[in-house]
Amino acid sequence: MMQTIVSLCKRRGFVFQSSEIYGGLKSAYDYGPLGVELKRNLMNAWWRDMVHRRENIVGLDASIIMHSKVWEASGHLAGFSDPLVDCKVCKERFRADKAPRREPGSPAPIVLPDKGVAKAMLEILPARFGVELERKGKTLHGATVGARGYVCPVCGSPFLSDERQFNLMFKTSIGPVSPVDTLAQAIERGELHNMEGRDLRRAIEDRLNDGAVYLRPETAQSMFVQFLNVLNAMSMKLPFGIAQMGRSFRNEITVEHFIFRSCEFEQMEMEFFCEPGSDEEWTTYWRDERMLWWKKFSNHPERFRYRPHEKSELAHYARACFDIEYEYPWGWGELEGIANRTDYDLRKHSAASGQKLEYFDPVHKKKITPYVIEPAAGATRGMLVYLLDAYEEEKLESGDTRVVMRFHPELAPIKVAVLPLVKKNGMPEKARTVVNAFFERGINARYDEQHAIGRRYRRHDEIGTPFCLTIDGETLENDTITIRDRDTMKQRRISIGEAVAEVEALLQSS
């Protein structure tokens, strides 16, 4: 299924591999002519429903590079890292928190690529790890799951390295002095002389940190950092929210499943500040609102579910967290997280900056530090969800199969295609006046005259265009055109003068 979506995305101009002509940059993607429309439509719908439609939520568009102190205070510099583990059998490096969970002490069969490798491993592993193993085909039996309760995701082995932390933030430097010059000067002056091991590493890191800045790994922190400015500028009253969408960057160890996990991606996040004590109610409210929102644009609402985080999974400051998950072709996975972050972030930034990030409660006449509920969604991951959700291979009565992307009309890259039946007899001119009438109303229409009409219908089915309008011989006689519905493929005639109003009404009613 993923392969089908990936190739449709390339063929039809939704998503391309970054820098493809140079062999491609793994984990980076470019959004093509239709992808950029789909992504924008999704993000605009989020902005409209989260910001414009709500009196108590306002927007923000912060810089991607912020003061390094922001990341120090938020804990990202120290803690924004994934615990990484190496498998001692197959050498796979993986994230401990994503590894398959198994009951400690239960059997851990090790599945190797073939019998030959299994035989070779049988010679080595028992002595190395002090276990008795038995080979059946390419599988070694006899090992058991260790106390950490997980095994290698590739071969299933419980023989693993310690967990190591790895920082996910992309680092660069700002200012005229290159940190490499600073380091070179330090070496020249002999400052690193006689140093070795950890001390040497730390000394080099200190020099390289001169002017270090980071690409933000989430959009959230700027909403806390700008809390007071927004509060004062907009005279906000609790409860209120600050919303932001935009690029985030994470040096992910495992990039996987196309645009599901990439190093550069887009997020849609909102920090909702509320009175302590009302936080549980608001967590439930946002959990439900966000689920309804995702389902609203979906053909398969049953593919969405909640997953409450177990106590052991929760960040130490978070009171509760729910993931909204989608059933991807490889299984259930996260799409959005809704977390009750308490007053942790505001307090952290208050302490680190010396600025009191508080709210004056006019009823109780005292200052409080609000609690925060954070619905944090991936926009590019959301786009993948709707690409998967929309895809259908439909068997037709004729025996043919058509591929149709059943995008919700609000998300569809092109809302209406206007097709002259032939490229003559004044049909193109007529079609262009219809297209222009759509542009006047702010509706993204597309004039399309290439190939036979049947192929054009199929093309627009495949890119999810909800309506096709065709100008034919009859149009020239009586000013009527046909309107074809993508989902039912039914056609009917309407008057050309009513085309815009008709399509507008259909788009709004869906």
Tell me if 420 sits within 8 A of 430, measured CB to CB.
yes
Is residue 335 involved in binding ligand ATP (CB under 6 A)?
yes
Is residue 406 involved in binding ligand ATP (CB under 6 A)?
no
Is 49 or 218 the residue whose CB approaches ligand ATP more closely?
A: 218
- In the three-class reduction of DSSP (H, G, I as helix; E, B as strand; rest coil), residue 192 is classed as coil
Contact track, ligand ATP, 85-114, x by CB under 6 A:
------------------------------
Is residue 250 involved in binding ligand ATP (CB under 6 A)?
yes
Which is nearest to 52 in space by CA: 241, 213, 224?
A: 241
Smallest separation (angstroms) from ligand ATP to the CB of 241:
16
R_g (Cα) of the chain, nearest Å: 28
Contact track, ligand ATP, 170-209, x by CB under 6 A:
----------------------------------------
Task: Give me 336's structure tokens.
Answer: 């959005």
Is residue 327 involved in binding ligand ATP (CB under 6 A)?
no
Classify residue 312 by its DSSP letter.
Answer: G
**Binding region for ligand ATP (CB under 6 A) out of 203-211, 257-265, 312-320, 415-423:** 257-265
Is 219 or 470 the residue whose CB approaches ligand ATP more closely?
A: 219
Is 248 or 350 the residue whose CB approaches ligand ATP more closely?
A: 248
Helix ranges (DSSP H) in 209-301: 221-225, 227-234, 279-296
**Binding region for ligand ATP (CB under 6 A) out of 8-16, 335-343, 364-372, 418-426:** 335-343
Smallest separation (angstroms) from ligand ATP to the CB of 355:
25
Classify the C-alpha dihedral 104-109-113-115 as positive or negative: positive
Interface size with ligand ATP, residues (CB under 6 A):
16
Which is nearest to 256 in space by CA: 3, 39, 92, 27?
A: 27
Is 292 or 476 the residue whose CB approaches ligand ATP more closely?
A: 292
Is residue 265 involved in binding ligand ATP (CB under 6 A)?
yes
Place of tokens 């006046």: 433
Tell me if 169 sits within 8 A of 71, measured CB to CB.
yes
Beta-strand ranges (E) seen in 424-466 are: 445-447
CA 339/CA 318 separation, integer angstroms: 7
Return the residue of 210, 334, 392, 474 that touches ligand ATP, per CB under 6 A: 334
Q: What is the four-CA torsion angle of 123, 126, 132, 136, rounded to 10 degrees?
A: -40
User: How buried is 135 (Cβ within 10 angstroms: 0-12 exposed, 13-18 middle, 19+ buried)?
Assistant: middle
Contact track, ligand ATP, 363-402, x by CB under 6 A:
-------------xxx-xx---------------------
Smallest separation (angstroms) from ligand ATP to the CB of 270:
11
The CB density around residue 269, as the number of other CB atoms within 10 Å, is 27
Which is nearest to 8 in space by CA: 380, 328, 384?
A: 384
Smallest separation (angstroms) from ligand ATP to the CB of 237:
28
Contact track, ligand ATP, 471-500, x by CB under 6 A:
------------------------------
Smallest separation (angstroms) from ligand ATP to the CB of 267:
5
**Binding region for ligand ATP (CB under 6 A) out of 127-135, 146-154, 331-339, 490-498:** 331-339
Is 336 or 502 the residue whose CB approaches ligand ATP more closely?
A: 336
CA 30/CA 28 separation, integer angstroms: 7
Smallest separation (angstroms) from ligand ATP to the CB of 146:
23
Q: Could you please report the per-residue DSSP string of 88-123?
A: TTT--EEEGGGSPB--TTSB--EE-SSHHHHHHHHH
Which is nearest to 238 in space by CA: 57, 60, 376, 61?
A: 57
Smallest separation (angstroms) from ligand ATP to the CB of 79:
12
Smallest separation (angstroms) from ligand ATP to the CB of 259:
7
Classify residue 310 by its DSSP letter.
Answer: P
Please provide the distance, in angstroms rounded to a whole number, between the alpha carbons at the two ends of the chain.
Answer: 27
Is residue 337 involved in binding ligand ATP (CB under 6 A)?
yes
Return the residue of 17, 219, 267, 475 that touches ligand ATP, per CB under 6 A: 267
Smallest separation (angstroms) from ligand ATP to the CB of 80:
9
The CB density around residue 475, as the number of other CB atoms within 10 Å, is 23
Smallest separation (angstroms) from ligand ATP to the CB of 481:
42
Is 158 or 333 the residue whose CB approaches ligand ATP more closely?
A: 333
Write the CB contacts of 267 (distance below 8 Å, at least 6 apart in sequence): 218, 219, 245, 246, 247, 248, 376, 377, 378, 379
Q: How far is CA 327 from CA 20, 377, 438, in A?
A: 29, 16, 37
Is residue 218 involved in binding ligand ATP (CB under 6 A)?
yes
Return the residue of 68, 74, 262, 470 that touches ligand ATP, per CB under 6 A: 262
Q: Report the residue closest to ligand ATP, judged by CB.
A: 378
Tell me if 84 sits within 8 A of 96, measured CB to CB.
yes
Is 77 or 468 the residue whose CB approaches ligand ATP more closely?
A: 77
**Binding region for ligand ATP (CB under 6 A) out of 31-39, 224-232, 305-313, 328-336:** 328-336
Classify residue 190 by its DSSP letter.
Answer: T
The contact set with ligand ATP (CB under 6 A) reads: 218, 250, 252, 261-262, 265, 267, 334-337, 376-378, 380-381
